[in-house]
Chains A and B, each alone.
Chain A
């Protein structure tokens, strides 16, 4: 990446500094975006490796490879790393690269803060991972860190709590940065309702982050003081209430899942119009639908805890409120489909990813509606059906949208076209292996296989076998993803300024690769 930036030395007064210190001290939004994306990719591989340990253990019935306590650590850390290490920083990486380019700003509004937000992360995740080497191991309570279970456990739990504090500070700073950038640094003429949808989804996500990350920080702080300082927020022996933890956690947790998916919606709302060669259908309704989803996310949290013994009135309220979310989400799905309708569509890798996301995310959304039905949820709760559901929204929603986004903007970032043939291979292998991995889990869950258990009944053997084979394929395919990126960074066909024939937006008016400094004189948007 440094070599590409140096090409433009002649055009600019100062390029990046050289060597390692460039990356430590940089305040450039493109450098920081690149670091976020690389960090996200590394965490994706680490978290994926943990998932493969889980799938290897579940390959056949019985206990073979790891002991149950280590299995629990792997499921827990896989989730924590994927959620907080891969998806969230990945989306922040996209925001860093694209938001200033899309609104015609020279950089993020608070560049030093930006540097801090990133450099906290490697330390936070070293803390979580280091738990594995202490007595008692890493966190093993599931990513929800339910108290009073987390009141037990070794120093790994404390390390996880501190890591959550750190990465919470990092995401809050990142969110503040996005909001301030968008509100104060738009180019002349770039009104709010002219902003690309990716920027809109990120602003709304940033507000969600600011509202709920502090609540989660509070919840884990209560766990910490319960563990070490004699408080009893969640310990019934001292007068606390374990159900209270679930309420606080999910008050954070449900907006959190939209924090992960809304920027993904933004990415595919950029990709689909480009390759359909049409304007996005229903732009205003997309903005309002996104805001609507964000608002509803605050009032549905208890659908994660239908089985705690809520009164009927509460269950009915949370059921109907949850189902209401299908309305703005449906608006988005239909708008994407309408954008493609009668467009001159071509199917480059980013477009393939965008279409797959629309299709597969809808499956995940519909299984979510099934889970929202209270009487059905008593059967599905804590089974593999839930696992299948959230992998359909998080892998084939968030992760695959990010992969599509990488292919879409990689030529702008590196100045080289990626290898289209390999890209298509990577897409098809990912999509097929993903479905082999997770589709059978729907059936496992409906038949009653509980999640987070290292062993299972013989009747579940075939579907688990399929799922594990798919998971190995899915994992290995991602080495190809890394290779394609590496190849595009090193060289390849020169990308033009527009890159894609039908692309619209300010980022396609700067040369490829985007120079180290862009829009020092703001462009005028008509």
Chain B
């Protein structure tokens, strides 16, 4: 019976560890995506750092912009233009337009995603409305800038990068 007890306690330890492992997958997943850049999440860098990048005038990359306002958010949301030809290393600015069509104030959170996922490591922003939550009062409209820079180290075989924003209703997570 003593042998049974010690085996049972060892197995219970395994069970508890595996429950913890399930939760450990959450930060591990973020870390893995961060290192490999496959999660499609964009980076944030300081304006001064971005200004020091070498500009690769010989190379042209097409950046496409798409936007979606998800079903729980009564907003209009679109970029001012659909695509832009850019040189890696140079800072560009593009405006997004958002309008709250409801009469109530709503908090929204934009989530960026870059395709192909491997390009996301090289897609950095110095300013973005997605860095914080946005609040629009009833019927309010707003132009919001995104300032971005593509790292000159972007792999040679990538010619087109798509930046997509999904705006979610974040009333539940409002920070104030």
**Residues in A lying within 8 Å of B, measured CB to CB:** 109-110, 172, 176, 179-180, 183-184, 210-219, 222, 230, 232-233, 235-239, 241, 244, 247-248, 251, 309-311, 314
**In the complex, chain B residues whose CB is within 8 Å of the CB of A238:** 109, 170, 172-173
B166 contacts chain A at the CB level, 8 A cutoff: yes
B84 contacts chain A at the CB level, 8 A cutoff: no
Name the one of B19, B29, B109, B115 contacting A244, with C-beta atoms under 8 angstroms: B29
A219 (CB) vs chain B CBs: closest residue: B22
Please report the C-alpha to C-alpha distance between residue A236 and residue B14 in the assembled complex, in whole angstroms: 32
Q: Contact: B25 with A179, CB < 8 Å? A: no
Q: Contact mask B11-34 → A, CB, 8 Å, 1/0?
A: 110111011111101100110000
B45 contacts chain A at the CB level, 8 A cutoff: no
> Closest approach, in angstroms, between the C-beta of A110 and any C-beta of chain B?
7
Q: Contact: B7 with A244, CB < 8 Å? A: no
> Closest approach, in angstroms, between the C-beta of A298 and any C-beta of chain B?
11
Q: Contact: A176 with B11, CB < 8 Å? A: yes
> Closest approach, in angstroms, between the C-beta of A224 and any C-beta of chain B?
13
Please report the C-alpha to C-alpha distance between residue A180 and residue B4 in the assembled complex, in whole angstroms: 6
Q: Contact: A217 with B19, CB < 8 Å? A: yes
Taking CB atoms and an 8 Å cut-off, the chain B residues in 101-126 that contact chain A are 109, 111, 115-118
> Closest approach, in angstroms, between the C-beta of A473 and any C-beta of chain B?
42
Please report the C-alpha to C-alpha distance between residue A314 and residue B173 in the assembled complex, in whole angstroms: 33
Given contacts A210-B14, A215-B25, A311-B116, 4 further A-B contacts (CB under 8 A): A180-B11, A237-B111, A237-B172, A244-B25
Please report the C-alpha to C-alpha distance between residue A235 and residue B26 in the assembled complex, in whole angstroms: 13
> Closest approach, in angstroms, between the C-beta of B106 and any C-beta of chain A?
12
Q: Contact mask B141-176 → A, CB, 8 Å, 1/0?
A: 000000000000000000000000010111011000
Q: Contact: B25 with A237, CB < 8 Å? A: no
B88 contacts chain A at the CB level, 8 A cutoff: no
Q: Contact: A237 with B173, CB < 8 Å? A: yes
**In the complex, chain A residues whose CB is within 8 Å of the CB of B4:** 109-110, 180, 184
B39 contacts chain A at the CB level, 8 A cutoff: yes
> Closest approach, in angstroms, between the C-beta of A194 and any C-beta of chain B?
20
Given contacts A237-B169, A248-B25, contact A176 B12 (CB under 8 A): yes
Q: Contact: A218 with B14, CB < 8 Å? A: no
> Closest approach, in angstroms, between the C-beta of B113 and any C-beta of chain A?
9
**In the complex, chain B residues whose CB is within 8 Å of the CB of A217:** 19, 22
> Closest approach, in angstroms, between the C-beta of B149 and any C-beta of chain A?
23
Q: Contact: A110 with B8, CB < 8 Å? A: yes
Q: Contact: B26 with A244, CB < 8 Å? A: yes
Interface of A is mostly: helix
Q: Contact mask B29-56 → A, CB, 8 Å, 1/0?
A: 1100000101110000000000000000
B32 (CB) vs chain A CBs: closest residue: A247
B24 (CB) vs chain A CBs: closest residue: A218
**In the complex, chain A residues whose CB is within 8 Å of the CB of B172:** 230, 237-238
Please report the C-alpha to C-alpha distance between residue A233 and residue B173 in the assembled complex, in whole angstroms: 12
A181 (CB) vs chain B CBs: closest residue: B4
Given contacts A180-B7, A214-B19, A236-B168, contact A247 B40 (CB under 8 A): no
**In the complex, chain A residues whose CB is within 8 Å of the CB of B109:** 236-239
Given contacts A176-B12, A214-B16, A236-B168, contact A241 B39 (CB under 8 A): yes
Residue pairs across A and B with CB atoms within 8 Å: the count is 94
Q: Contact: A214 with B169, CB < 8 Å? A: no
Q: Contact: B117 with A309, CB < 8 Å? A: yes
**In the complex, chain B residues whose CB is within 8 Å of the CB of A216:** 22
- 5 A-B residue pairs with Cβ-Cβ distance under 8 Å, sorted by A, are A210-B11, A214-B22, A217-B19, A244-B26, A311-B38
A248 (CB) vs chain B CBs: closest residue: B25
Please report the C-alpha to C-alpha distance between residue A488 and residue B98 in the assembled complex, in whole angstroms: 73
> Closest approach, in angstroms, between the C-beta of A307 and any C-beta of chain B?
14
Given contacts A180-B8, A211-B14, contact A218 B22 (CB under 8 A): yes
Q: Contact: B26 with A233, CB < 8 Å? A: yes
Please report the C-alpha to C-alpha distance between residue A213 and residue B23 in the assembled complex, in whole angstroms: 13
**In the complex, chain A residues whose CB is within 8 Å of the CB of B7:** 179-180, 183-184
Q: Contact: A232 with B173, CB < 8 Å? A: yes
Q: Contact: A218 with B29, CB < 8 Å? A: no
Given contacts A211-B18, A214-B18, A244-B29, contact A237 B168 (CB under 8 A): yes
**In the complex, chain B residues whose CB is within 8 Å of the CB of A210:** 11, 14-15, 18
Q: Contact: A215 with B111, CB < 8 Å? A: no
**In the complex, chain B residues whose CB is within 8 Å of the CB of A214:** 15-16, 18-19, 21-22
Q: By CB atoms of chain A within 10 A, which of B14, B26, B170 has the most?
A: B26
> Closest approach, in angstroms, between the C-beta of B140 and any C-beta of chain A?
19
**In the complex, chain B residues whose CB is within 8 Å of the CB of A309:** 40, 115, 117
**In the complex, chain B residues whose CB is within 8 Å of the CB of A235:** 168
Q: Contact mask B126-142 → A, CB, 8 Å, 1/0?
A: 00000000000000000
Name the one of A179, A215, A239, A314 contacting B22, with C-beta atoms under 8 angstroms: A215
Taking CB atoms and an 8 Å cut-off, the chain B residues in 47-87 that contact chain A are none
Please report the C-alpha to C-alpha distance between residue A309 and residue B120 in the assembled complex, in whole angstroms: 13
> Closest approach, in angstroms, between the C-beta of B31 and any C-beta of chain A?
12
Please report the C-alpha to C-alpha distance between residue A332 and residue B118 in the assembled complex, in whole angstroms: 40
**In the complex, chain B residues whose CB is within 8 Å of the CB of A212:** 18
Please report the C-alpha to C-alpha distance between residue A222 and residue B26 in the assembled complex, in whole angstroms: 10
Please report the C-alpha to C-alpha distance between residue A216 and residue B18 in the assembled complex, in whole angstroms: 10
> Closest approach, in angstroms, between the C-beta of A149 and any C-beta of chain B?
13
Q: By CB atoms of chain B within 10 A, which of A219, A235, A241 has the most?
A: A241
> Closest approach, in angstroms, between the C-beta of A222 and any C-beta of chain B?
8
Please report the C-alpha to C-alpha distance between residue A83 and residue B1 in the assembled complex, in whole angstroms: 34
Please report the C-alpha to C-alpha distance between residue A311 and residue B12 in the assembled complex, in whole angstroms: 37
Please report the C-alpha to C-alpha distance between residue A281 and residue B169 in the assembled complex, in whole angstroms: 62
